[in-house]
Copies of this chain bind each other. A is one copy, B any other.
Amino acid sequence: MNCEILAVGSEMLTPFRQDTNSLYLTERMNALGVVLLAKGIIGDNRNLAAAAIRHALSRADIVLLTGGLGPTMDDVTREAAAQALGVDLVRDPDILAALYKRYAERRIAMPENNVRQADVIRGAVSLHNPTGSAPGQWIDTVFEGHRKILILLPGVPHEMKAIFTAECEPRLRELLPPGNIASRMLRIAGLQEAEVDARSAPIYTSFGDVETTILAANSEIQLHFRCNAATPDKAQKRVDELCGRVEDELGESVFSSHGESLEQVVLFFLEMRGETLSTAESCTGGLVAMRVTSVSGSSRSFLGGAIVYANEMKTEFADVPVKLLIEHGAVSRPVAAALAEGIRERTGSTLGLGVTGVAGPGGGTPEAPVGLVYVALSDGRETVVKERRFTGDRDRIRWQASMLGLDLVRRRLM
């Protein structure tokens, strides 16, 4: 079985807005064993939307529509879907009563337009919306001689998700062959895509029943595995077996085998080992600390840190000797080490991380060109320093530096 997702809404045809609902729906449909054939975005235009729905129904078994179910005249999805199927809309008295009740409870008069939200495509099942006023709709029909499922969902993400989970997934499960799909992802830091592929391909190609996808994004490599087998247990077993063998090959470069982020893994290990962390950042300007503290509960293991942009701050907050700064320059191996050691001592954490580099685009010199980054980790006994020359724009260099720093902490804790 395959599906197509169509988002309806003119705002998603501007340069300022993306359709993100389709990412969630793709993930859920894939988990049900349904392949996505295509996706599209159409504006608030009834005729164009109707034509797009017909085109989708002509090629896909299941068509998911999101958006355009609100009360205003811009909301055309109900009419467009009815037009595409050649049927009319019926005003549902129960939905209408629920709409009036909703407004009465808030002691405000319901705008006249709102009655449109009670319009149901003839033959459709209305899908209860637990958190909003626009119900979804489920149509099991025959189109051009083939059985098709057309699903209408609101565009508001939390309403869309609530209806999809409670109303659509159970119906789809009944319809589809039992879900025997398992999937997993490995996330890898510190290796290039080509190396990950060269080392893992001999393994994953020997698993003909597991689909493998390799993606490089944001300074990490992801290996996605997916298996469709006779039973869910068998699918899971095959995926786990392949994951295990690739993990053995790639070793500690694999930072996550169940989807966790690098910062989550770092915090998990800090807590498990009873260690605490502090940071002294120059070129990353707080990015490392921001990533660590984005995880709820990080205060148990992360004490704090300093952003030491000006040289005086490196001395003030991390006790970097002025002599070191003069002799070696702020972007140097000894200064990175001094930042790590200094912030560790000042905060009393067990581990101190120092980052210094040239994020660019300006500020590069022959000795310290744009992209040169040092990260250092001190545990009080020894200090490890890593040097890299990154490419890309300012944001990318800073991001890569933060990955290198967090990964250094992770490897130390493993």
Contact = CB atoms under 8 A, between A and B. Distances in A.
Report how many copies the assembly holds. 2
Contacts of A307: 279, 286, 289, 293, 304-307
Contacts of A51: 59
Contact of A303 (B303, B313, B395): B313
Contact of A312 (B39, B290, B303): B303
Contacts of A269: none
Given A27-B15, A59-B51, A317-B304, A286 B293 contact: yes
A191 interface: no
Contact of A309 (B42, B48, B304, B360): B304
Contact of A313 (B20, B287, B347): B347
A203 interface: no
A307 B308 CA distance: 11
B286 A360 contact: no
Interface string A295-326: 01111001111111110110011000000000
A59 B289 CA distance: 50
Given A16-B224, A39-B40, A290 B293 contact: no
Given A312-B303, A394-B296, A15 B11 contact: no
Given A37-B48, A41-B40, A309 B286 contact: no
A51 B55 CA distance: 9
A217 interface: yes
A205 interface: no
B36 A347 contact: no
A172 interface: no
Contacts of A302: 285, 309
A26 interface: yes
B42 A38 contact: yes
A398 interface: yes
B309 A306 contact: no
A17 interface: yes
A contact residues, range: 35 or more
A307 to B, nearest CB: 5
A36 B18 contact: no
Nearest to A30: B15
A27 to B, nearest CB: 4
A201 to B, nearest CB: 15
A23 B13 contact: no
Contact of A37 (B43, B215, B289): B43
A288 interface: yes
A307 B303 CA distance: 8
A109 B338 CA distance: 49
A286 B308 contact: no
Contact of A287 (B290, B346, B347, B395): B290
Interface in A325-348: 346-348
Given A285-B290, A310-B304, A26 B37 contact: no
A362 interface: yes
Interface string A33-70: 00011111111000010011001000100000000000
A142 B36 CA distance: 32
A293 B395 CA distance: 10
B296 A360 contact: yes
A289 B304 CA distance: 13
A213 B59 CA distance: 35
Contacts of A215: 11, 16-17
A24 interface: yes
A321 B43 CA distance: 58
A192 interface: no
- Across the A-B interface, give the 6 residue pairs with the lowest CB-CB distance, nearest first: A285-B293, A286-B286, A286-B289, A304-B313, A15-B27, A40-B40
9 contacts: A13-B36, A14-B30, A14-B213, A40-B40, A285-B298, A286-B289, A286-B290, A296-B362, A302-B309
